[in-house]
Structure formats: C-alpha cells, structure tokens
Amino acid sequence: MPKTDPKRPHILFLFSDTGGGHRSAAEAIIEAIELEFGEQYSTEMVDFFLNYTPTPFKHLPMLYPKLVRVPQAWGLGYSISNGHARARILTASAWPYVRRSLHRMVANHPADLMVSVHPLANAPALRALGRNRPPFATVVTDMVTTHALWYHHLADLCIVASQEAYRRALAAGMRAEQMRIVGLPVADRFCQPPGDRQTLRARFGWPAERPLVILMGGGEGMGPLEKTARSIAQHCPSAALVVIAGRNQTLKARLEAMQWPIPTFVYGFVREMPDFMRAADVLVTKAGPGTISEAFIAGLPMLLYSRLPGQEDGNVTYVVNEGAGIWAPNPEKIGTILQDWLAHPEKRLQASAACQRLARPQAARQIAHLLIETIHNREKV
Ligand code: UDP
C-alpha cells in the first residue's frame, strides 16, 4: 500500500511470519507509536518474504514450521551462517534472485522510516533502497544469542534487548553509536495492572480453584507439546491445563480428540495471550524470546521444555541464571518439576519475583521514541 497521507510521516515495518515473534514485535511497536504520538505518524507492516520475494524464498513462512521441526538441522544452519563474513556472503549470493522484487517493494512502499524486525530483511532492504534512502532501523527480536544477520553497518539505529546482544553487534562490525540496549517490545495489554485473576478465569470458563498451567510452543506450536501435555496431566492431578497449539492445526485437532484426566482446554492461535498469562500460575513453553519477555512482565514463572538451537540457547541460560525458570527438555521431567512447584508455591513465588525484576514493560514505548527521533534527526541534516 503506497503512502496515502503526505502530511503524516510514514513508517514501514518489514517482518515475516516465521514464528510468531516478528509479527508480535512489530505490532507492539506500532501500538506504542499510537499510544505515545496519537495519529501523528502512519504505519504499515509488510511480510517481505511472502509478498516480495520469488520462489522458493516466498514459501519460507509456510515452510518454517517444517524446518524448525528438525532442530539439529536448524542449529547447523544457524552456526554455519553465523559470523560477519559468512552473513555477508549469504546475503550477497541471494541478492541476484531477490533484487527485482525488493526494488518493487521499495517502490510500492515509500516511507520516511523503514524498520526491520527480521534478521533476513536488513541487508536486502538496505541494498534495494540504495544511497538516497530514508533512515533505516533494526529492532532485534532475539534476546541474547543474536545471529550476525541482524547487524548491518549501514543501519542508522539498531535496538537490542541485552548486553550479550550488544556485544555480538559490536563483534559483527556495528559501531556503539548505532546501538541502543532497550528490551524486547511487548504489547501494551501485557503491561496493564494484573486485574482480577478469578474474573479472567470465569471469562474463559477455566476453574477458579485449581492451579492453572499454560503450555505453549511459540506461534507454531513447536516441540513435543503432546507428550508434555500428557506428562503434566499425569503428574499434576490437582491442576488445570491450557494447551495452545498456535498455528499447528493438526496438533490442535489431535489434542482435542484426546481424553484428559484433568480439566484441559485446547486452543489454536489465540489473540488473548496477555489475559491468558495473567490468569495463569505457571507457563511451560519453548524458549521463544517474545513469549519469555511477555512472561517476565506477567510475573509468570517458566519451565522451558524446548529451544531452537543457536538463536534460543542464550534465552535458556538467561532465564535459568536469573532464577525466572527451569530448563527441563524432557516431558517426564516437566511433569515432576511441575508437581514439585505446585506442592511448593514459595518456589514459584521466587521465580515470579525474578520475572518481575527482568520485565521491561516500557520497552515498546522507548523504542517508539527512538524511532521517531531517528526520523527527526534525518530531517535536521
Ligand atoms: N502467540 C500468540 N498466540 C498464540 C501463540 C503465540 O499471540 O496462540 C504470540 C506470543 O504471545 C509471542 C509470539 O506469538 O508474542 C511468539 O513469539 P516467540 O518469540 O516466543 O516465538 P516464535 O513463535 O517467534 O518462535
């Protein structure tokens, strides 16, 4: 969609639905821009893979759930491509194939600021924009062990969530003055006062008196969700269980067809994640950065049952070292740890306090301000 209102500066967000985190981050920043600046800026999101790359790249959002189901292969791809020089070779070799469509994207979506929330968007978008371009910002949506593809020396601004991500940025050739450490942008609804848990549970039809466990695997319902759900149901007879299968429709149908020994509620992709988290006592999740940042804000202690090798390794270390959760990559172990947590609420409370310490509820709004400054800094030049 071309820029429609010449009086309002236009901000274009490049994302793709490879996982749920890139979309969530872009939406959270857009919401924060509206909350902080009203209608002064117009915004737009473009799934650059789906809409502006040729086959086979355009199928990546569709193929992503299948690719990440083989975590070893994913981890190998991550480590082979990670590194300043290797990342440059990779993007340079893809350029002849994506050049025409990305030039079309830039022509179709004139903007006063372009923001990438996807590691694979940076180099091709900057190249397609050329010399006479609007400012370009990257918001890194991985938390700790960030890939070199996130970092492009021509970006005017690059926002990361942790010291380790900052260190990696410098190692990948970024200059300190391009960088800001803020936090992962999270939707404003996660940042509202907790509200009444019982009212929320009544709204969703969940039992008020049982400890409530949410089990999820990112936007795609990844990892051994079914086995983990069965283990929880077996080890924790006093609990109620909410399983979120995300976009994994096959898994959702399978879970719905099963008989459960405890009250169990199965969902596909839900839009009410903030209220789900606020109504729950424990989160069992893949170590996705978006989900972890949201759980920090909700003060929701975590059991991490799986991670994407490479990009999510650091998230596990971070959560565990800070005392916000436990790494338990085995359905049986999840069941027994959860049993222990339910019997000892003080352990959960300790982890919940650690979450609150790590929470960055202002991140989206701070990012909104940094982006707007970037537009105005360019106007002054
Ligand atoms: N999410 C959601 N509804 C769902 C499942 C996930 O809104 O049913 C959101 C979740 O709240 C988070 C994002 O999708 O914001 C998942 O991001 P994360 O970085 O945790 O994992 P990814 O899916 O990118 O691997």
Domains and CATH numbers, the chain: 10-186+361-380 (3.40.50.2000), 189-358 (3.40.50.2000)
CA–CA distance, 257 with 280 (Å, rounded to integer): 24
- Of 18, 117, 273, the one to substitute when testing ligand 1's pocket (max ligand atoms within 8 A of C-beta) is 273
Provide the percentage of residues in the chain whose pLDDT is more than 70. 99
The pLDDT tens digits of the residues spanning 73-105 come to 888 888 889 988 898 898 999 999 999 999 999
Residue 238 alpha carbon to ligand 1 centre in Å: 27
Q: Is the pLDDT of residue 193 over 90?
A: no
Q: Is the pLDDT of residue 301 over 60?
A: yes
CA–CA distance, 264 with 3 (Å, rounded to integer): 47
What is the arithmetic mean of pLDDT over 131-139?
96
In this structure, the strands spanning 240-244 and 10-15 are unpaired
Lowest mean pLDDT among 84-98, 134-148, 316-330, 335-349: 84-98
What is the arithmetic mean of pLDDT over 200-214?
97
**Is 19 close to ligand 1, i.e. is its CB under 6 Å away?**
yes
What is the arithmetic mean of pLDDT over 99-121?
97
CA–CA distance, 183 with 360 (Å, rounded to integer): 6
**Is 124 close to ligand 1, i.e. is its CB under 6 Å away?**
no
Residue 229 DSSP label: H
Average pLDDT along the chain: 94
Residue 217 alpha carbon to ligand 1 centre in Å: 8
CA–CA distance, 227 with 222 (Å, rounded to integer): 12
Residue 8 alpha carbon to ligand 1 centre in Å: 31
Residue 122, judged by CB atoms within 10 A of its CB (0-12, 13-18, 19+), counts as: buried
What is the CB neighbour count within 10 angstroms for residue 378? 14
Q: Is the pLDDT of residue 329 over 80?
A: yes
Residue 187 alpha carbon to ligand 1 centre in Å: 12
CA–CA distance, 61 with 247 (Å, rounded to integer): 12
Q: Is the Cβ–Cβ distance between 215 and 244 less than 8 Å?
A: yes
Q: Is the pLDDT of residue 213 over 80?
A: yes
**Is 119 close to ligand 1, i.e. is its CB under 6 Å away?**
no
Task: For residue 366, list its beta bridge partners.
Answer: none
Residue 103 alpha carbon to ligand 1 centre in Å: 30
Q: Is the Cβ–Cβ distance between 60 and 216 less than 8 Å?
A: no
**Is 25 close to ligand 1, i.e. is its CB under 6 Å away?**
no
Q: Is the Cβ–Cβ distance between 215 and 242 less than 8 Å?
A: yes
**Is 246 close to ligand 1, i.e. is its CB under 6 Å away?**
yes
> Using 50, 70 and 90 to split pLDDT, how confident is the model at 32?
very high
| Per-residue confidence (pLDDT) for residue 3, from 0 to 100 | 55
